[in-house]
Amino acid sequence: MKIELSNKIVKDRYTQYVCESFDIQNSEESKITIEANLNSIPKDFNIGVVYGGSGSGKTSILKHYFKKPIDESYFDNDKALISNFDWLDPDGATQLLSSMGLSSVPTWLRPYKVLSNGEQYRANLAYIVGKATQNEVILIDEYTSVVDRDVAKAMSNALQKYIRRSNKKIVLASCHFDIMEWLQPDWIYSPQKGRLEIATRLRQRPEIRLQIFRCRYETWNLFKQHHYLTEDLNKASKNFIILYNDKPVCFVAILPMPSGTIKNAYRISRIVVLPDFQGLGIGIKILNIFGSMYKADNKSLYIKTGNPSLFSGMSRNINNWKLIASQNDIEKVKKANQRFLDREKNGEIIFDLRAGMKLSKESATKSYKYIGLESNDNIDIIKFKTEVYKDIAQNQISIFDIINNEQ
């Protein structure tokens, strides 16, 4: 298939100068022909990519070959981000955002306009792919062109998992090749070469190498605004920072279990993955590492959480984490609240907020215990040294301003 594009040249002294200076034969109109050899793409694909530099015809191929406009999102900036997903119920909206790697609860409650560039991009993706049906092809132009490359990789990994689990179809136009091994497309088309490449199998995702460092209490300042419960941190906790490609991505705080409860037992009191790096499975990977380390030291490790994304991750890690308690089952609470409202409506009880009577909170918390294997690896936790840390995370100067003021 050939896409012929033409537009009339409006004559003025500037266009006349160009036509005369460069000996343009046709000064009436500008024409361009784009090869779109996509007839051999598999019908049952999930992810396709049109790859090439600026001006290679990627956008034109999306519009003309698939015969539909580029998909766009719309957000009402007077609403919280999550309230814009009102075609879903609240639980469905949180799951959709989490599936795009946007699992920061505080972020859900902020309007779209105040989000970071990476958060806005993930929100756009969630909106577009969430609204699409299985019968349509989703079209995304300039994919990851405006985000940090590490963020682009995390985003691509989250997107491909969602698309394949939901069995939807998406075609992305991109000028970046570094996302391909994370996106794992079923086909790639290069308009500059006129070549279509079809994947015969999914490739293994690149290895994620993390560095774990002991850190001070003040490092929490980088992460606290992203925690879904409170910004408070127990000063007795043992704290760790995790780096990926020399960038801080995760914070973990561990406390001993309260005295008189369980011997040689500890609990994860805080775990926060920065929004830009959500979607890579870093949180679960870190939990497994700490669980195996503590077990190797004859200690038990527990975690209690109300974060939906961790619920999902734990359900896929049943060989490592055992659910030992679940409180406030949401469906049971909803039914109990409805019975309460029905009784109040029928005059059987008086609903008086001033008297302190209120509905139960529709939330869930779950507790897990690590039951996986002991660590067989020699995992070194590097103790905090300011100068060493500066070399590793030199772009995070704000941390050192805080720390050096304390010394």
The fold adopted by the segment(s) 210-350+358-406 is Aminopeptidase (3.40.630)
Tokens representing 369 are: 């215990």
**What DSSP string runs through 109-130?**
TS-GGGS-HHHHHHHHHHHHHH
Sign of CA pseudo-dihedral 276, 277, 280, 284? negative
Contact 172/121 with Cβ under 8 angstroms?
Answer: no
Cα 17 versus chain centre, distance: 50
Distance CA 183, CA 49 (A): 9
Structure tokens at 27: 């000064």
pTM of the model: 0.74
Quick one: fold of 39-198? Rossmann fold (3.40.50)
The dihedral of CA 204, 205, 211, 214: what is its sign? negative
Token duo for residue 15: 């266009």
* CATH 3.40.630.30 residue ranges for the chain: 210-350+358-406
Per-residue confidence in pLDDT tens, the chain, 407 aa: 777 777 888 989 999 899 888 888 888 888 877 777 788 898 899 999 999 888 888 889 898 889 899 999 999 999 999 999 999 998 899 989 988 988 888 899 999 999 988 899 999 999 999 999 988 999 999 999 888 888 899 899 999 999 999 999 999 999 999 999 999 999 999 888 888 889 877 777 777 888 888 888 889 998 988 887 777 899 999 999 998 888 899 999 999 998 777 888 999 999 999 888 888 888 998 999 999 989 988 999 999 988 777 888 888 899 999 999 876 555 655 666 566 566 666 665 544 433 333 444 445 788 999 999 887 554 444 444 444 444 444 433 333 333 333 33
Question: 255 — phi, psi (to 5°)?
Answer: -125, 150
3-state secondary structure of 154: helix
Return residue ranges of the chain for CATH 3.40.50.300. Answer: 39-198
Q: What one-character DSSP code corresponds to residue 283?
A: H
Q: Strand pairing of 238-244 and 187-190? A: unpaired
Residue 69's SS3 state is coil
By CB neighbour count within 10 A (0-12 exposed, 13-18 middle, 19+ buried), where does 36 fall?
Answer: buried
CA distance 10 to 259: 82
Q: Pairing relation of β-strands 300-305 and 365-370?
A: antiparallel
